A and B are shown apart, each in its own frame.
Chain A
Amino acid sequence: MSKDRRIDIEDINGVTVARLLEKKILDEANIEALGQELFALVDKDGRRKVILDFTHVEYLSSAALGKLITMHKKMMTAKGKLVLCCIRKEIHEVFRITQIDKILKLCGTLDDALGMF
């Protein structure tokens, strides 16, 4: 496994919990690498129940939002389910401003997210 991974994976009762490890999802190269790791969960590993845990995320840019939308679309195409949880207030505002909260499923805690499956 790469030392430079952007997500930490845990399986809980058949649901994949992917914890985003970067505090700032801003740099273009980082965002691209994060996107590849996220997409591999669906495309390569065949996972269909995925929670993205945002506990550590303090900043993210519009380019990072783009990766989340692409991930959502991949999951929809694969007839899977994607839920985001543990999102701090500032990041939640970014989702609301861009109205991405209308297409992505956002939850409070990890337990709330697990309860969606």
Chain B
Amino acid sequence: MADPVDLEICIPNCTRQGLAVQDRLISLMESFEYSVRDVFAMRLSLEEAITNAIRHGNRQDPDKQVHVICRVDEIRIEVIVTDQGEGFNPEDVPDPTLEEFIERPSGRGLMLMRAYLSVCEYSEGGRRITMVRERNSPLPILED
């Protein structure tokens, strides 16, 4: 069994840098031969978490940074993304599938992460998100 790989990266508050981090973590998953489905789930979740950190957490402030910690092994990938913003309460984010919100163009990122991840937990007052995807996870579960 291959040894776990740990990464710690601090990026400027820039979505291009966020994409570069995504590519690096996805390459790691591929080196551990995760499935296309697992990779899709994690890339989508990384995009949402890092974009949220840059846009909503750090409010596009170029002087702030986003901190990313990752551990990949044969069983799962865990990523922790931390911003330097004021935080938020995830419970305040409305359900985007409700009739009054369904046609809103924003507010679906958190819902997607929750659907695809085994663990999707905010801490540090909403400044930190911990994301875990298990290998060959059945998520997302969709009702017929």
Contacts and interface: CB of A to CB of B under 8 A. Distances in A.
Contacts of B107: 62
Given A97-B112, A98-B97, A102-B102, A59 B44 contact: yes
A98 B55 CA distance: 21
Interface in B6-36: 15-16, 19, 22, 36
Nearest to A58: B40
Interface centre among B43, B103, B105, B109 (most CB of A within 10 A): B105
Interface residues of A, number: 26
A26 interface: yes
Contacts of A67: 105
B81 to A, nearest CB: 15
Interface centre among A58, A61, A73, A90 (most CB of B within 10 A): A61
Interface string B123-144: 0000000000000000010100
B103 A27 contact: no
B70 interface: no
Interface size class of B (residues with CB under 8 A): 20 to 34
A1 interface: no
A12 interface: no
Chain A contact surface mostly: helix
Interface in A51-67: 58-59, 61-63, 65-67
CB-CB nearest 3 A-B residue pairs: A66-B105, A62-B108, A62-B109
16 contacts: A26-B47, A27-B15, A59-B47, A61-B44, A62-B112, A63-B109, A66-B106, A66-B108, A70-B105, A90-B37, A97-B142, A98-B97, A98-B108, A99-B97, A99-B102, A103-B102
